Amino acid sequence: MQPDVRYARNGEVAIAYQVVGDGERDLVFVPGFVSNLVHAWESPYWRGFYERLARSFRLILFDKRGTGLSDSGPFFPALETRMEDLRAVLDAVGSERAVVFGSHDGGHMAALYAATYPERTHALVGFQFFAFLGKADDPNWQAELLELRATWGTQEFADRLLADACPTLLRSEADRLWFANSMRVGASPEVGYELNKAFHENDLRDVCAAIRVPTLLMYRGPVAVQEGARESAALIPGAKLVRIDGNDYFGVFLSPEIVDEIEAFVDALGVEAEPDSVLATILFTDLVGSTAKAAELGDRRWRELLAEHHARVRRELARYRGVELDTAGDGFFARFDGPAKAIRCACAVRDSVAALGLDLRAGVHTGECELLDGKVTGIAVSIGARVAAHAAPGEVLVSQTVRDIVAGSGLSFADRGAAELKGVPGQWRLYAVTDS
C-alpha cells in the first residue's frame, strides 16, 4: 500500500512528504531533479528501492518545491530556500537528526543542509554528487538547456536522455514510457530548465570544505563521472568514496548495493559528538559618515536617530530570520542560515535607513565558523567584516563564495574585482549587489 501524502509548510509554500517504515534512525531522501510521490510508487524500481531503505530506516520522502505534488511558490527558489523546505519537512515529522541522502542535484541541497545544520545531520550521503560542474558559461551547454526546455516531457527527449545516461531503461518499452511520464508529472518544462540551470551554476566547493559530518559519496558511470566524484570527495574532510558497478548515470534505484553501502556506513558510525563548527552567513553593516552626522545634529538628536536606526535594523533582521550577535556603536553583526536572506536583509536595511537620511554599507560572507558559547567566531567572521569595510556608501558587497551559492535566487551582481582583505591571506573577489 502506498503511504499517505502529507504537507509541511515553509511560509506559504506546501511541501508534500511521506514517511515509510519505523526504523530507529531517520533517513531523508532528497531526489534528483524531479519526482512525484504518487507516480514513483507505481514503478517497481522506486517501490523496491524505497521498501529496501525502509527496512533499516524511518524513510522520509518529499517532492522538492515546484516538483511533483509540492507548491511552486512565486518564483524559482534559491538553493538555501529549498534547503529550508527540507528542514520544514524534518520538523513536521519530528526528526531531530537524520541521515541526509541526496541524489544528483539533490546532493547540493543535502550538502548545504549538512554544513549548515551539522547538529541535525547524522551523516551525509550523496549519489552522483558534484560540487562544481563548471559548464554554466559553455555555449554548448546553454544550447542544450534551451533544447531541454523546448522538448521537456516528450518521448523523443526522454529517449535521447536515456540513450546518453541510462541505457538500461531504454531496453524496455514500458520503462521508456514510464520515464517520459515521470518527467511530465515531475515538473513543467520551465521548472526542469531552471533546476538543470541552477545545478550547473551552483558552486559548492567552499561549502564542501565546511562539512564536518560523516560523509559517504557514491558514483556510477564513465571516467568523466569518476573524475568529478573524486574531486568532490577530496573537498569534504574524511569523505568516503565508493564506486557502484554499472554505466547508468541516472537511476539510483538500479543498484541494490547502494542501500547496502548506506547501511554499512551508518552502522559503523561511532558516538555522535556535538559540532564545534558550522557553515554560516555573516552580515556586517556600518553607517557612513556617522561622526559628521552626530556633530551636525547634536548629541540628543543623534541618539534619537540612532535608536530609530537600531529599531529598523532589528525589524529587518527579524523579517529575514537573522540573529543579532553584536552591536558596536552604529554597526551590526548578524548571522543567517543562508546568504540570499542575508543579502535581502542588508538591502532592506539600507533602503529603510536611507529614509532617515543615513548612508549604510554592508558586507556579506559565507564560511565555516567556530561555535563558542552559542556565538560564531573565526576567520569567516573577519572576512565578513573586511568585505563590509570595502563597500562604498549605499553598497551591499559580497564575497565570491556568496555569489556562487545563490545561483537561481534572482539576485544580480556587478564584479568589483579582486581585493586584499586586511589580515586575510590571498586575493578575494568581491561583488556588489545590483538587484535584490
> Measured between alpha carbons, how far is 83 from 316 in angstroms, rounded to an integer?
21
> Measured between alpha carbons, how far is 398 from 390 in angstroms, rounded to an integer?
10
> Measured between alpha carbons, how far is 29 from 9 in angstroms, rounded to an integer?
18
Indicate where the chain has its CATH 3.40.50.1820 domain(s). Answer: 6-132+202-267
- Find residue 363's DSSP bridge partners: 284, 397
Residue 271 has pLDDT above 80, yes or no: no
pLDDT digits (tens, 9 = 90+) for 238-247: 999 999 999 8
CA distances to 148, 248, 273 from 266, rounded to whole Å, are 37, 25, 15
pLDDT at position 95 is: 98
Give the pLDDT band (50/70/90) at residue 13: very high
Indicate where the chain has its CATH 3.30.70.1230 domain(s). Answer: 277-435
> Measured between alpha carbons, how far is 143 from 127 in angstroms, rounded to an integer?
26
Residue 36 has pLDDT above 90, yes or no: yes
> Measured between alpha carbons, how far is 394 from 374 in angstroms, rounded to an integer?
31
Element (H, E) at 396: strand 396-399
Handedness of CA 316, 318, 321, 322 (dihedral sign): positive
pLDDT digits (tens, 9 = 90+) for 40-53: 999 999 999 999 99
Is residue 219 left, alpha or beta, with left meaning phi > 0 and alpha meaning psi from -120 to 50?
Answer: beta
Cβ neighbours around 329 below 10 Å, total: 10
Cell 562604498, residue? Answer: 392
CATH number of 6-132+202-267: 3.40.50.1820
Cell 552522483, residue? Answer: 128
Cell 568532490, residue? Answer: 232
**What percentage of residues in the chain have a pLDDT greater than 90?**
85
Cβ neighbours around 171 below 10 Å, total: 9
pLDDT digits (tens, 9 = 90+) for 313-338: 999 999 999 999 999 778 999 999 99
pLDDT at position 375 is: 81
pTM: 0.92
Average confidence score pLDDT of the chain? 94
Residue 135 has pLDDT above 80, yes or no: no
Residue 208 has pLDDT above 90, yes or no: yes
Cell readout for 153 is 516531457
Residue 374 has pLDDT above 80, yes or no: no
pLDDT digits (tens, 9 = 90+) for 85-119: 999 999 999 999 999 999 999 999 999 999 999 99
Residue 343 has pLDDT above 80, yes or no: yes
> Measured between alpha carbons, how far is 33 from 234 in angstroms, rounded to an integer?
24
Give the pLDDT band (50/70/90) at residue 133: confident
Cβ neighbours around 86 below 10 Å, total: 28
pLDDT digits (tens, 9 = 90+) for 379-434: 999 999 999 999 999 999 999 999 999 977 889 999 999 999 988 888 999 999 99
Handedness of CA 178, 179, 185, 186 (dihedral sign): positive
pLDDT at position 312 is: 97
Element (H, E) at 125: strand 121-127
133-137, 148-152, 328-332: least confident range: 133-137
> Measured between alpha carbons, how far is 266 from 269 in angstroms, rounded to an integer?
5
Compute φ and ψ for 55, nearest 5 degrees: -70, -30
Terminal C-alpha separation, the chain: 46
> Measured between alpha carbons, how far is 29 from 298 in angstroms, rounded to an integer?
59
Please compute the mean of the pLDDT values over residues 264-284 and round it to a whole number.
90
Rg (CA), the chain: 23
- Find residue 100's DSSP bridge partners: 28, 124
pLDDT at position 136 is: 73
pLDDT at position 170 is: 95
Q: Class of 277-435 per CATH?
A: alpha beta
Compute φ and ψ for 393, nearest 5 degrees: -55, 130
Number of continuous H segments (helices) and E segments (strands) in the chain: 17, 16
